[in-house]
Amino acid sequence: MGGVELELPLRGVTVVALEQAVAAPFATRQLADLGARIIKVERPGRGDFARGYDRRVKGLSTYFVWTNRGKESVVLDLKDGTDRALVDRLVEQADVFIQNLGPGAAERLGLGGTALRARHRRLITCDLSGYGPEGPYRDKKAYDLLVQCEAGLVSITGSTYFPARPGISIADIAGGMYAFTGILTALYERERTGNGSAVSVSLFDALAEWMAHPYYTQAYGGTPLTRSGARHPSISPYGHYRCGDGAHVFLSVQNEREWAALCERVLRQPELAHDPRFADNPQRHVHDDELTAVIEKCFASHTADGLSALLDGAGIANARLRTVAEFADHPQLAARDRWRDFDSPVGRLRGLLPPVEVAGREAAMGAVPALGEHTAAIRAEFACPGHHGDSAAE
């Protein structure tokens, strides 16, 4: 990177994470990338159960590698008095405590946000749950796909005939990102007031926020959204169109200026811009099947590559449908030098830099920890006065 390398903004911030699965680990990984110290408390035996989701990254779990860069792993038995006391010492010196254990588990351990904030005025606590601390779903177990179902997302995802799960853990990601921004907000507030905050995020509330457009469509439009496959549910033309070489090009028309340009410069039928069936977006959407037939008749004389160039020249947004392998070799990522190597228990791995760029700084991209890799060091560092710690690794 050019220029002077600046210190990462969260250097000196310590986060104790009693976390598992995806949502909370995803939130704390963002903090680690910004320079925070993340002490990840894992259970004896298998640790965070996300470690066992699969073994596709040279024997490591894809989910764990993705969400746990740059952390210290300490194995502690919270039912053991000595280990439980060590957790208290960790929290005493922490800036942030985050947990996403099962419903009520943190409270039973004396590690709920209310109890901790009563003892530590400057501590920021973040409780990440499935459905929130109140209501009839408070104690209901919540995993990503199940929350998607309860929030109505799966009902509008997929083809006309079959609902589908989005290809990523979108409820976990939503909850994790709101936890991340909530913690950043609390750190900023503490700089002004000197007091910590109790942050609470539920996966259901996070995804409910993202369901606003479908809600408004149903509540005020009179009809619910229907599943539309890879086409947009309310904008036309917006989706995939077959070309002469059998490939598909995706395009999107967002306004009347772009619609006129598509008609004149790509379809070579300027009169379509004034056809009553296609007079505005609501009408185009009603007559989407007819419009698709018109577009694909024109596109039949073009290859996908040639059509993409033609659309670019006309100022029409477009894309090719890439596989994950093709995404990994995307020329835009290569041109912008977005890939970095980072350490792990199985050697160097490759991953993408986080999306927010700050001039003069680059994300830490720390190592993925082995289970209990830092247990001995943490015991020694946070030992009671006069106690030399336990040097035996767990």
Q: Is 387 a catalytic residue?
A: no
Nearest-CA neighbor of 330 among 351, 230, 338, 166?
338
Contact in structure between 197 and 219 (CB atoms under 8 Å):
no
Give the number of C-alpha atoms closer than 13 A to the C-alpha of residue 301, restricted to the C-beta side: 8
Contact in structure between 259 and 294 (CB atoms under 8 Å):
no
Residues near 348 by beta carbon (within 8 Å), at least 6 away in sequence: 341, 342
Contact in structure between 91 and 116 (CB atoms under 8 Å):
yes
Nearest-CA neighbor of 237 among 215, 211, 207, 259?
259
Active-site pick, 120, 213, 232, 287: 232
Nearest-CA neighbor of 354 among 339, 369, 343, 368?
339
At residue 134's C-alpha, the angle toward residues 130 and 135, to 5°, is 90
- Which two three-digit tokens encode residue 223? 């009809």
97 phi and psi, to 5 degrees? -125, 125
Crossing angle for the helix pair 23-33 and 170-193, to the nearest 10 degrees? 50
Contact in structure between 203 and 129 (CB atoms under 8 Å):
yes
DSSP 146-167: HHHHHTTTGGGSB-SS-B---S
Using DSSP's 3-state secondary structure scheme, residue 375 falls into helix
Instruction: Indicate the pairing of strand 124-129 with strand 96-99.
Output: parallel
Cα 241 to Cα 329: distance, rounded to the nearest angstrom: 24
Cα 51 to Cα 373: distance, rounded to the nearest angstrom: 14
| Burial (0-12, 13-18, 19+ Cβ within 10 Å), 343 | middle
Residues with catalytic function: 232
